[in-house]
Copies of this chain bind each other. A is one copy, B any other.
Amino acid sequence: MKVGILGTGDVGRTLASAFVTLGHDVKMGAREATNDKAATWVKQAGPKASQGTFADAAGFAELVVLATHGVANGAVLKAAGPERLAGKVLIDATNPLDFSKGMPPRLAVGFTDSGGEEVQRAAPQARVVKAFNIVGHVSMFRPEYKGGPPDMLICGNDAEAKKQVTALLHEFGWPEVADLGGIESSRVLEPVCLVWVLYGAATGSWSHALKMLRK
């Protein structure tokens, strides 16, 4: 499958490498087609990896992952071109984190709206699935935990897209995937990112992952 990754940060590179490892062709998109971090990643990732602008990555891909800073999502999706995302699965791995008041970050939106809903509005014909936002990048691919596996929680409006992302998550090493409903469930999934951050600050753990224990 052809995969476009929008973003060159830890999350973008981690997911891009995971897709390459699984045999997919991956184009990493950035504001500039010659982005240094993307170039370094391409060199490391080998022949299935390439780079380009956000629009290049969106146009190339059958499936797109949004992995930029959440507060930049609007600008990134505008640059990518919503028409290039039409009909495609768009995994929103972001959180609308506002670092302007220092650490820990706050959410920039919530309660009556969410980053996931903003993404769906900015790319109205994309089939947006919120995923990966509740866990740190080090755990996103093949998470290994004593007492695992952790749970992935997703949401989105398109049932077929969620099925496809669930199958993908299974390949990524997440056998436990729960579908929490429409994209508006991002309103409760995005706060879980902050719970993850605050738990890290409280415990000094930065590689934790959420599991739902069941009887």
Residues of A within 8 A of B (CB): 104, 107, 109-112, 145-148, 150-151, 153, 178-181, 185, 187-189, 191-192, 194-195, 198-199, 201-203, 205, 207-215
Chain B CB count within 10 A is highest, among A104, A191, A213, for A213
Contact of A178 with B199 in the complex, beta carbons under 8 Å: yes
Q: A181-B198, A188-B191, A191-B192 are in contact. Are A213 and B147 (CB under 8 A)?
A: yes
A107 contacts across to B, CB distance below 8 A? 111, 188
Among B187, B189, B209, which residue has its beta carbon within 8 angstroms of that of A212? B209
Bound Cα distance from A198 to B186, whole angstroms: 12
Contact of B181 with A188 in the complex, beta carbons under 8 Å: no
Among B145, B199, B207, B211, which residue has its beta carbon within 8 angstroms of that of A180? B199
Bound Cα distance from A151 to B210, whole angstroms: 10
Copies of this chain present: 2
Contact of B208 with A210 in the complex, beta carbons under 8 Å: no
A195 contacts across to B, CB distance below 8 A? 153, 180, 188-189, 192
Give chain B nearest CB distance to A190 CB in angstroms. 8
A148 contacts across to B, CB distance below 8 A? 213
Name 12 A/B residue pairs within 8 A (Cβ), A-sorted. A109-B111, A110-B187, A150-B213, A178-B199, A181-B201, A189-B195, A205-B212, A205-B214, A207-B215, A209-B212, A210-B213, A211-B213
A211 contacts across to B, CB distance below 8 A? 147, 210-213
Bound Cα distance from A179 to B209, whole angstroms: 17
11 further interface pairs, Cβ-Cβ under 8 Å (given A109-B111, A211-B212) = A104-B181, A110-B111, A148-B213, A178-B202, A178-B203, A180-B199, A189-B195, A203-B214, A207-B215, A208-B212, A209-B212
A212 contacts across to B, CB distance below 8 A? 199, 203, 205, 208-211
